[in-house]
Structure 1
């Protein structure tokens, strides 16, 4: 399949294809007559997609494993990652069939204007929730990171120990300038850095498994090697666990593999953007993310067992406060999360603009205004959210399940025109049913749990 190199793509353009040429080319046409420059490389697209996939989710998966058991977690991780890759396959097929590169416009094609509005609102809520979770990590981890480098701890009144103030400063100085980029391909450079930070995180979690004794010392002021506990059953890994906390596991995984809002923009900026080439980008990205997720969750769980925190790095504070590797990995994760926020902000801004404006020509005024509005909302949510697992649970069971499973299934069944007995139609139906069951069940249990605890 060859690509016409003289065509152009834009952030808000649709990928249109002539039916008479569909078997030979997938032209990416734009409103203007500018020549399409060379697109993002395969490696850059993989880094961007991995950065969209991986983020705060990697910090919550050890807690998910503690809530489901090792075997239960592995089964769920395989199922969710496989369905995520398959739903992307359906979206790419629809993009090639219809010439549409916008998730929102696919909703419009399948369900008319209400579908477009519904998808746009879902994307905005999902990405705001994702960015809020990332900034929540910055709020909780930045003071801890600074304190870990200080020889003595103050009373907590110093400005650099105020997570909210640090969050505002970082957002204005780093997140905001990067978020102003009008091209998602540009973020491939920062995404490649974030990838190596995540790799370093996985290595440190593995190494530190043997630095913290089990049973965990209950008196953290005493050196760990001098403490003993009779409750050695705490050190026995559980293969299967079913409890109210298990309801957070699948939404956290769905949250951790959701990259669908970034798929089509990355597809249209990919150099030589064929479906097969973009599917390879997807498979590599999800495969690598799967490995990182499994390693970090497994060794994080085998370090703290049932005592693992909903945000993994916080679990190390009591036992390895001034450990060099933990200190540096905390900084690495902070930088990685920091570099992910602008990438996640991109589809949220695009969705808002598509909902607000009929004229989709690029406008710097609209671009800047929407960016500032989204970041302001995200910043306020990050400041006032009490626990990151609430974000994972509620957002993961609602908007994440819709974008990951429900919408791709509905869109394919409505747009493809294929008989229900075909393989992809059956797969789309499975996605739809699984997404609805997962979302309703998990959200119900989470709401009941939060109500009872309050």
Structure 2
């Protein structure tokens, strides 16, 4: 949902090339993880890093996965809030679905209340499954709903393009001074976060069904097909959503669908787009939470029995993590803010730096000279772009949201008391 906004920063051609380049780098990093997992028989990302760099490597991976997943899960809930209750960040206010239905703001469509109810009634139960394969049908439905968004967005953009109602998009970055140049690097965290999946590679590979086809070959197919599917969705979303809304594209493009699209049945179509994607987010949430819970448990209780066999530990971890993520979502006014700092730190490490370091360490001695050159390029690009993005974000980030955060905390405490008493 933030990818169309990156087109506004980079311009359409460079933005689309950046999406493709991120996909290629992600493919290389994931294949490196799979290659090095076989010789050391690693069944997790942390075990692979521990084999290469000892206990410090395992802890570094787990910390990065925790930071990354918490950041993305907060983004998910912020998007749900944008869709259902309207935006709260800087810039123009975009109304939410419930706000439109009520004809204005009321207590039951207020953002914190909607997020609290969604978290307790939907997200918490979905996050309570002990096995990732229990989520296969909800995951499939979430992909279908994402495709609904893409198909509708493409169709509306093409309709308006044929009707001559779309302005010519900006083709080059708007660089007019030093600040605008450094601002270009703020797209890096969004691109990286879009393809972050390295922490889920091992759990999925471990649960692949046994067949006559070797599991590593099956996993290579899974990775390749997933990247092709995601890249196609990302390219269509970024290009056609940016064509549709132009320079008015919001950090969360779903928020733009509160406007009149200028086509027949525009209100109904916009409602379908927003509601279907909100459900998509709700169904994706437990997949990322599954990985988060495993890594928090591994970090806090490295020598305990497996989490699936300890009901009390499982329930406590699930409840505490979902609660903390909900609180975090009420303190972050925009998905761009969340992406910038998690995407430029933990996500970059997981996606590129750690796989490249494993390849450079080359403990099984299987790397070619070409592999090592690619690893050095990956590390250098990742470090330079991340440092630049973090510096640019610190310089340009608004730090005046104290009032918003105070009000959010007060509302959380009020709803929590009502929930406990009720």
**What TM-score range do you get, normalising by the shorter chain?**
0.7 to 0.9
Is 1:240 the counterpart of 2:172? The answer is yes
Is 1:250 the counterpart of 2:172? The answer is no
Equivalences for residues 70-89 of structure 1 within 5 A: 70-89=12-31
Equivalences for residues 74-113 of structure 1 within 5 A: 74-113=16-55
TM-score, normalization by structure 1: 0.78
Distance 2:400 2:106 in 1: 31
Is 1:291 the counterpart of 2:240? The answer is no
Distance 2:142 2:346 in 1: 25
Distance 2:326 2:274 in 1: 21
Given candidates 148, 163, 166, the residue that maps to 1:200 is 148
Give the CA deviation at 1:201: 0.3
Give the CA deviation at 1:255: 0.6
Show CA shifts across 1:309-329 (max 9, x none).
Answer: 111011121324961111011
Show CA shifts across 1:75-96 (max 9, x none).
Answer: 2111111111111101111211
Show CA shifts across 1:1-49 (max 9, x none).
Answer: xxxxxxxxxxxxxxxxxxxxxxxxxxxxxxxxxxxxxxxxxxxxxxxxx
Distance 2:249 2:344 in 1: 22
Distance 1:165 1:128 in 2: 21
Change (3 A) 1:211 1:323: farther
Distance 1:420 1:441 in 2: 30
Distance 1:377 1:270 in 2: 31
Give the CA deviation at 1:412: 2.3
TM-score, normalization by structure 2: 0.84
Change (3 A) 1:267 1:324: same
Q: Which residue of 1 aligns with 2:323?
A: 376
Query: 8 Å contact 1:61–1:253 — kept in the other structure?
Result: yes
Q: Which residue of 2 aligns with 1:31?
A: none
Change (3 A) 1:135 1:453: closer
Change (3 A) 1:210 1:77: closer
Q: Which residue of 1 aligns with 2:295?
A: 351
Equivalences for residues 176-191 of structure 1 within 5 A: 176-191=124-139
Q: Which residue of 2 aligns with 1:25?
A: none
Give the CA deviation at 1:414: 2.0
Equivalences for residues 96-175 of structure 1 within 5 A: 96-143=38-85, 144-148=96-100, 150=101, 153-154=103-104, 156-159=105-108, 161-175=109-123
Distance 2:116 2:36 in 1: 40
Which structure dedicates a bigger proportion of its chain to helix? 2
Give the CA deviation at 1:387: 1.3
Give the CA deviation at 1:399: 0.9
Show CA shifts across 1:226-257 (max 9, x none).
Answer: xxxxxxxx923222214354222121010111
Distance 1:441 1:126 in 2: 19
Q: Which residue of 1 aligns with 2:357?
A: 410
Query: 8 Å contact 1:405–1:432 — kept in the other structure?
Result: yes
Query: 8 Å contact 2:16–2:239 — kept in the other structure?
Result: no
Give the CA deviation at 1:427: 2.5
Distance 1:452 1:372 in 2: 30
Distance 1:365 1:429 in 2: 45
- SS in structure 2 of the partner of residue 323 of structure 1: helix
- SS in structure 2 of the partner of residue 182 of structure 1: coil
Distance 2:122 2:270 in 1: 23
Q: Which residue of 2 aligns with 1:328?
A: 272
Q: Structure 1 unaligned runs (5+)? A: 1-58, 217-224, 226-233
Change (3 A) 1:424 1:271: farther
Distance 1:419 1:96 in 2: 11
Q: Structure 2 unaligned runs (5+)? A: 86-95, 402-422
Given candidates 250, 260, 271, the residue that maps to 2:209 is 271
Q: How many residues in Structure 1 have an aligned counterpart in Structure 2?
A: 376
Is 1:262 the counterpart of 2:207? The answer is no
Give the CA deviation at 1:360: 4.1
Show CA shifts across 1:102-136 (max 9, x none).
Answer: 11122222221222111111110100000000000
